[in-house]
Amino acid sequence: MAYPNLVAEMARRDLDARDLAKVAKKSPDTIRNWLRGKGDFTVAIAFLIQQNLFPDCKITYLFSNTPALPDEAPVS
């Protein structure tokens, strides 16, 4: 997974690619590809996802390539 923290938070909140796709106005397949590292989230879409689905998580934590616990996330 290219975004292990985002995937972990999705699992904690019972969200899937369809939920992110609705916010991002992209197809679920596109979101799944991005989560697998086949392409990247744009900064604008990353902010939309963070603000709408994960407002309590730092964007740097969510979109990091390095697995971390939420309280270990770097300060943004």
Q: Mean of the per-residue pLDDT values for the chain?
A: 93
pLDDT one-digit tens code per residue, 19-44: 999 999 999 999 999 999 999 999 99
**Distance from the Cα of residue 47 to its chain's centroid:** 9
* 3 state SS of 36: coil
Own/partner pairs for 12-17, CB < 8 Å, 24+ apart?
13/53, 13/54, 15/53
More confident residue, 13 or 1: 13
Report the top-level CATH class of 4-72.
Answer: mainly alpha
Q: Is 45 in a helix, a strand, or coil?
A: helix
Distance (Å, whole) CA 56 – CA 59: 9
**What is the pTM assigned to this prediction?**
0.89
